[in-house]
């Protein structure tokens, strides 16, 4: 299918035969690895790692040196687009991302520009090109973005939130303003992901972290329709190679059918849904990615191996499954447990791919 030495991740997303179920982990490059913490300490802060192509490449490759992973994912952040729009992204220790200039009025939304990915976000494209070169065709590189709804949530709230009062106030009292913002964000994400694909990303993923806080009607109106727009606007083929697209809505299990109907290639699942039920509901329409609870990596290795077998048995025979955690790996997980998880997926999945 490609010049890749290991293309089973791409093949599984396209529901083509594979020898074993491919596996990678959300946040596989990051704080649970001592070698990452060392690079981050030397760089000074998180965004300094993101903005330096060599450092972003180094931390992207670190987990691949340790583990038998089937894909690399670009080391970056979902908030690069709002940062490029001039909102002043910064990180407070232990508090997560914040913006110096949140967007709370129609005038502020109107003033926002759509960032040029090779200009304001050029550092991300430099990182993609550097990582692609250094991977030397070992495994595919995944590019990604936050979803418009998720990005808007951070932009309006000014950071993380438990109540979502600010963004929902805008949604319900000034829906036209929010739709204007979401539309600009969808246009920005299309440009951003297409630029990542042009720079060498072989698959892309949209993270809709906060879609699950919406009612079914509001999810369709404020989140899903904009992801649908993104899927429709993406480059899906480069030099004859398909570029698969995965959509992931955390707590979005009730909307699997609607997500699958966007034209994406795969739907990411968190751990709150049974993969057997998910497969029954979407049939052969899309591949599925997921969905072990990240906290399972705290368990003894034997328990982790049991859980892997349970999820593999739930999906059953055939291709179309990319094994992953249901969300990002926790920072205090023992890397050896992550390694045992990855090895177990390959070990126990071969029998489902005869």
Q: Is 40 a catalytic residue?
A: yes
94 or 61, higher pLDDT? 61
pLDDT given at position 94: 75
CA distance 323 to 269: 10
253-273 per-position pLDDT tens digit: 999 999 999 999 999 999 999
Q: Is 154 a catalytic residue?
A: yes
91 or 65, higher pLDDT? 65
70, 126 contact by CB (below 8 A)? no
**List 31, 101, 129, 281, catalytic entry:** 31
Within a domain: residue 350?
Answer: no
111-165 per-position pLDDT tens digit: 999 999 999 999 999 999 999 999 999 999 999 999 999 999 999 999 999 999 9
Helices (H), the chain: 8-13, 34-43, 46-51, 53-66, 80-82, 106-111, 122-135, 148-157, 165-173, 175-199, 216-219, 225-233, 256-260, 275-282, 301-315, 335-349
Structural domains counted in the chain: 1
**Percent of the chain whose pLDDT exceeds 90:** 97
Query: What's the pTM value of the predicted model, to 2 decimals?
Result: 0.98
**List 40, 66, 101, 236, catalytic entry:** 40
pLDDT averaged over the chain? 97
**List 7, 52, 70, 77, catalytic entry:** 77
Within a domain: residue 121?
Answer: yes
Within a domain: residue 91?
Answer: yes
> What mean pLDDT is predicted for residues 95-120?
96
Assign 3 a pLDDT band (cuts: 50, 70, 90): confident
94 or 290, higher pLDDT? 290
CA distance 342 to 326: 14
Report the 10 Å Cβ neighbour count for 342: 22
Quick check: 2 pLDDT over 80? no
pLDDT given at position 10: 98
Q: Is 236 a catalytic residue?
A: no
Expressed in angstroms, the distance from the first to the final Cα of the chain is 19
Within a domain: residue 55?
Answer: yes
pLDDT given at position 91: 86
**List 9, 32, 154, 226, catalytic entry:** 154
12, 287 contact by CB (below 8 A)? yes
> What mean pLDDT is predicted for residues 276-305?
97
160-210 per-position pLDDT tens digit: 999 999 999 999 999 999 999 999 999 999 999 999 999 999 999 999 999
CATH of the domain at 202: 3.20.20.210
Q: Is 66 a catalytic residue?
A: no
Within a domain: residue 309?
Answer: no
Angle value at C-alpha 230, between 129 and 224, nearest 5 degrees? 135
pLDDT given at position 96: 86
Q: Which of 61, 62, 76 is nearest to 136 (CA)?
A: 61
Within a domain: residue 290?
Answer: no
- Residues of the binding site: 27-31, 77, 154, 209, 327
- Residues of the binding site for substrate: 27-31, 77, 154, 209, 327
* HEC readout, 308-342: HHHHHHHHCCCCCEEEEECCCCCCCCCHHHHHHHH
Assign 1 a pLDDT band (cuts: 50, 70, 90): very low
Print the domain residue range for 46.
33-66+71-235
Within a domain: residue 291?
Answer: no
pLDDT given at position 92: 78
**List 8, 9, 11, 27, catalytic entry:** 27
Q: Is 8 a catalytic residue?
A: no
87 or 93, higher pLDDT? 87
Class of residue 216 by CB neighbours under 10 A (exposed 0-12, middle 13-18, buried 19+): exposed
241-255 per-position pLDDT tens digit: 999 999 999 999 999
Within a domain: residue 318?
Answer: no
């Amino acid at each position: 299918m490609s010049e890749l030495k290991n293309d089973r991740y791409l093949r599984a997303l396209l529901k083509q035969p594979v020898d074993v179920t491919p596996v990678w982990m959300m946040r596989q490059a990051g704080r649970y690895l001592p070698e990452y913490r060392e690079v981050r300490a030397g760089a000074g802060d998180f965004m300094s790692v993101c903005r330096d192509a060599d450092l972003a490449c180094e931390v992207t490759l670190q987990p691949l040196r340790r583990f038998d992973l089937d894909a690399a994912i670009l080391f970056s952040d979902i908030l690069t687009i709002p940062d490029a729009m001039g909102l002043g992204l910064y990180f407070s220790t232990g508090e997560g991302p914040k913006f110096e200039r949140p967007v709370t009025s129609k005038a502020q939304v109107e003033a926002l520009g759509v960032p040029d990915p090779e200009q304001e976000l050029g550092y991300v494209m430099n990182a993609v090109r550097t990582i692609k070169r250094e991977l030397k065709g070992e495994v595919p590189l995944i590019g990604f973005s936050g979803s418009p709804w998720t990005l808007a949530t951070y932009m309006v709230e000014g950071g993380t939130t438990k109540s979502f009062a600010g963004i929902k106030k805008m949604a319900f009292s000034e829906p036209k303003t929010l739709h204007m913002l979401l539309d600009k964000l969808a246009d920005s994400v299309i440009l951003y992901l297409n630029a990542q694909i042009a720079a060498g990303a072989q698959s892309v993923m949209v993270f809709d972290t906060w879609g699950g806080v919406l009612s079914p009607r509001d999810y369709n109106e404020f989140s899903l329709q904009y992801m649908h727009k993104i899927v429709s606007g993406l480059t899906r083929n480069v030099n004859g190679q398909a570029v698969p697209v995965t959509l992931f809505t955390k707590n979005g299990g009730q909307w699997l059918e609607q997500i699958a109907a966007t034209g994406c290639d795969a739907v990411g699942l968190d751990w709150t849904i049974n993969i057997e039920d998910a497969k029954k509901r979407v049939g052969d329409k899309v591949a599925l990615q997921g969905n072990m609870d990240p906290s399972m990596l705290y368990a003894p290795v034997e328990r982790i191996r049991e859980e892997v077998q349970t999820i593999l048995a739930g999906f059953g025979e055939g291709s179309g499954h990319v094994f992953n955690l249901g969300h990002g790996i926790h920072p205090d997980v023992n890397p050896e447990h992550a390694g045992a998880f990855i090895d177990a997926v390959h070990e126990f999945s071969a029998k489902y791919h005869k």
